[in-house]
Amino acid sequence: MGQYKMHLLVCGGTGCRASESARLVDVLGEELVKQGLEKDAQVVTTGCFGFCEKGPIVKIIPDNTFYVHVMPEDAAEIVAEHVLKGRRVARLLYQDPNSGETIEDSKHMGFYQKQLRIALRNCGFIDPECIDEYIARDGYAALGKVLTEYTPEQAIDILKKSGLRGRGGAGFPTGIKWEIAAKNAADQKYVICNADEGDPGAFMDRSISEGDPHSVLEAMAINGYCIGANKGFIYIRAEYPLAIQRLEIAIRQAREYGLLGTGILGSDFDFDVELRYGAGAFVCGEETALIHSMEGERGEPTVKPPFPAESGYLGKPSNVNNVETFANVPVIYLKGPEWFASIGNERSKGTKVFALAGKINNVGLIEVPMGITLREVIYEIGGGIKDGKKFKAVQTGGPSGGCLTEKHLDTPIDFDNLLASGSMMGSGGMIVMDEDDCMPAVAKYYLEFTVEESCGKCAPCRVGNKRLHETLEKICEGKGTEADLDYLRNLSSVIKDTSLCGLGQTSPNPVLSTLDNFWDEYVAHVTTRTCPSGRCKALLHYSIDTEKCTGCTACVRVCSTAAITGEKRQPHVIHQDKCIHCGACFDKCKFAAINVQ
C-alpha cells in the first residue's frame, strides 16, 4: 500500500458479497478513473471487517472513516466528496443504535473498542488474494524465525509457554498436542487443518480462511517443522466456495514465493499443503471422523486411543488443529509467548473469536480477550438487543453447548467458566435470544440438528437423541406431561455417559441447560399447556373479542378449517375444536378483534 494517498477498503467476505460488494468495488474503481483520481486512491477488496450486520462496508484509510450499507449508487458521492474534497458523506456513517449519535470512524465505535484482534489481525486490512500485503504485515516472518533460530523442541516449548489452547471446542493445550505428535517417530507425519466449520451460526473459520488465508498456511508450515511433517491438508467445507478459492490462490502464491515446497527459505525443510473437501457432515469436526472422511470413507468417529497424534491419516501420526488455532500461532512467535500469556485470564490465554448473531443489534464477527463478560459482549460490542426487547439467553457452543442466562451476564468468558455454567466454548457461535424465543423449542431445534447429523454408529446417540427430539416435539405440541420432563433428564444423562464421541457426549447439553435455566417454561408447556413466549403455535389460543368484532366476515373467508362462524355484522366465534392455530384470522382482522394467548 505504498504510493496511494488513500485506500478504500471494501469488505469482500461472504456476507457483504451477498449484498453486492463485488459490484461496489467495480463501480468505485470506475468512479476514481472517471474523476481522474486513480493515481491518488486505490480500491482494495479485503476480508471480513466483522460488522456483517451493516454490510457492505467501506473503510477509508488513513482516516478510518467507516461507511455502512454502501450501495453501488453511493460510489460517485464517496469519490466526489470524500476522496476529492476530503469531506465525509454523513448519511453513510454508522449511527449508534442506542444514542442515535453518528460516529465518524471505526476507532470510536463501541463494536470495535472492546475488541482485541489477534487471529483476525489482518481480516479487513489486507487483500487476501495478495501475498505481498500479508508479507508487508510481517507475514511469513514467524516461519523464517522458527526455521533459522529454533530447534523443533524449542519452538514447541514457546508454544507451550504461551498457553494457547485449541479453539475448536475442547480447549486442549496446543503445545502439548504438538509435542505428542513430535515424539511419535514415523517415516511420514501429517499436519491437518480442520476448516469443517459445521456449527450452525458460526462463521469464524470461514472468515479467517477468506480474509487471511496465508496466516493458516504459515502456521501449518511451522507445525510441520515442529512435528517433523512435510505434508499438510486443509479439510474444508464444500459449502464455503469463496474460502476455498482464496486458499487455493494463497497456496499457489506461497509456492511461487518458495514459502511452500522444497527447501523453504533456504533451509532443508520441505512442506506443502493440499485442500480436501468435506461434504456436509457435522460429525466430521471430530478429529477421527475427519480423518476417515479424508481417507474417502464415511465420516464415522473411532475410539480414542489411539489418538491421531499416534495413528491418524493413513495410520500415520497427524496433528489436527482448527483454523482459528493456527491463525494465532505466527503472532506468538513474533511477539513472544509472554506477550500472549499476558492476555486473557488464569487458565485461558489470548483471545477468542465469536460469531455474534441472533436478536442483537450488531451481528458480526468479534474477537475479544478471554475473561471478558457476557454483558460487555452483548451490550457494549453487540449494541444491545434488537428492537428494544428483553434479553433472555445466549446460546454458546452450538448444538453441543448450552444457554447462558441473565444470571451469567457477569461471568468472565473462558473455557472453564463456560463449562461450569453448563455450556461450552465450542467453536465460538454466540446466538442471542430475546423474550420471544421459546426455550423448549430451541432445545428441540438443536436436537433436530443432532438427530440429522448423528452418524448412527453408536446406539445412545442414534436412538437416544431421536427419543429426546420426539419428547420435545410432544411438549411443544402441548401433549407433554410432567413425567416427560424427568424422562428428558434421565435419558440425557445416559446419552452423555455412554456415547462414543464428542457429538453424542454433548448433544443433550441444550436440553439439560434449558431444563436447568428455564424450568418454569417447560412446566407451563406440560401443565397449563401454554407457551409463555408465544412461539409454539399449537399452544396458542385464538379467540374473538366480541366488543371489537364488527362481523365483517373477513376472518371467516381466510379460515381454512371453517372454525369461525357468526351472523353478518354480529360478533363471530372461533370453535376451538376446529381451530388449527394457523393465525390467518389474526393477520386478516383489521379491527384487532382477535386475541392470542
Partner 1 sequence: MSTLKLTDCQKGKIKEICVSFHNDPGELINVLHKTQGEFGYLPEEVQREIAKNLNISVAKVCGVVTFYSFFTMTPKGKHPIAVCTGTACYVRGADKVVDELKKQLNIEVGGVTPDGEFSLDCLRCVGACGLAPVVLVGEKVFGRVEPKDVKKILDSYKE
Binding residues (CB under 8 A) for partner 1: these are: 14-15, 17-19, 51-55, 197-203, 206-207, 238-240, 276-282, 293, 295-299, 314, 355, 357-359, 363-364, 395, 398, 429, 431, 433, 437, 442, 445-446, 449, 452, 455
CB of 123 vs partner 1, minimal distance in Å: 14
* Closest distance to partner 1 from the beta carbon of 452 (Å): 8
CA atoms of 152 and 428, how far apart (whole Å): 30
- Taking the CA atoms of residue 421, residue 426, residue 432 and residue 434 in that order, the dihedral angle to the nearest 10 degrees is -50
Other CB atoms within 10 A of residue 326 CB: 28
CB of 293 to partner 1, least distance (A): 7
Instruction: Give me the least distance between CB of 201 and partner 1, in Å please.
Output: 4
Query: With respect to partner 1, which residue has the nearer C-beta, 442 or 495?
Result: 442
Q: State which residue, 155 or 365, has the beta carbon closest to partner 1.
A: 365
Least separation in angstroms between residue 106's CB and partner 1 is: 17
End-to-end CA, the chain: 60
Separation CA 425–CA 408 (nearest Å): 14
Whole-angstrom Cα distance, residue 492 to residue 515? 11
CB of 320 vs partner 1, minimal distance in Å = 17
Pick the closer one to partner 1 by CB: 146 or 234: 234
> Based on CB atoms, which residue is closest to partner 1, 226 or 281?
281
Q: How far is the CB of 85 from partner 1 (least distance, A)?
A: 31
Closest to partner 1 by CB, 271 vs 445, is 445
Report the helix count and the strand count for the chain, using DSSP H and E: 26, 19
Identify the bridge partners of residue 277 per DSSP, sorted by sequence position: 236
Evaluate whether 189 touches 316 at the Cβ level (below 8 Å).
Answer: yes
- The C-alpha atoms of residue 126 and residue 252 are separated, in whole angstroms, by 18
In the three-class reduction of DSSP (H, G, I as helix; E, B as strand; rest coil), residue 547 is classed as coil
Give whichever of 159 and 357 is closer to partner 1, judged by the CB atom: 357
Give the 3-state DSSP-derived string for 146-163, with helices as H, strands as E and coil as C.
HHHHCCHHHHHHHHHHHC
Alpha helices in 19-99 (DSSP H): 21-34, 75-77, 85
Strands 351-358 and 429-434: parallel
Residue 364 CB, shortest distance to partner 1, in Å, is 6
At closest approach, how far in Å is the CB of 142 from partner 1? 28
Burial class (CB in 10 A: 0-12, 13-18, 19+), 584: middle
Rounded Cα–Cα distance for residues 445 and 465 (Å): 12
Instruction: Please say which residue, 332 or 366, places its beta carbon nearer to partner 1.
Output: 366
The residues, ordered by sequence, that sit 6+ positions from 505 with a Cβ below 8 Å of its Cβ are 495, 496, 499
**CB-wise, 9 or 360, nearer to partner 1?**
360
**Distance in angstroms (rounded) separating the CA atoms of residues 8 and 13:** 15
The nearer residue to partner 1, 19 or 328, going by C-beta atoms, is 19
Residue identified by cell 522458527 is 146
Residue in 136, 140, 166 with CA at minimum distance from that of residue 260: 140
Closer to partner 1 at the Cβ: 119 or 431?
431
Phi, psi of 19 (to 5 degrees): -105, 40
Minimum gap (Å) between residue 476 Cβ and partner 1 = 12
DSSP secondary structure string for all residues of 290-327: HHHHHTTS------SSSPTTTS-GGGS-EEEEEHHHHH
CB of 103 to partner 1, least distance (A): 18
Handedness of CA 305, 310, 313, 319 (dihedral sign): positive
Residue 173 or 201: the one with the smaller Cβ distance to partner 1 is 201
Q: How many CB atoms lie within 10 A of CB 583?
A: 14
Closest alpha carbon to 353 in 293, 263, 430:
430
d(CA 35, CA 30): 9
For the bound state, the minimum distance from the C-beta of residue 595 to partner 1, rounded and expressed in Å, comes to 21
Please tell me whether residue 517 adopts helix, strand or coil conformation: helix
Nearest distance from C-beta of residue 69 to partner 1, angstroms:
11
Name the residue nearer to partner 1 (CB basis): 276 or 572: 276
One DSSP character per residue, 361-429 reads SS-EEEEEETT-BHHIIIIIIS-SBGGG--EEEEEESGGG-EEEEGGGTTSB-SHHHHHHTT---TT-E
Q: Which is nearer to partner 1, 327 or 357 (CB)?
A: 357
Minimum CB distance to partner 1, residue 279 (Å): 3
Nearer to partner 1, 165 or 457 (CB): 457
Report residue 590 CA to chain centroid gap.
41
For partner 1, give the closer residue by CB, 238 or 596: 238
| CB 398, min distance to partner 1, A | 7
Minimal CA–CA distance to 574: which of 533, 526, 552, 542? 542
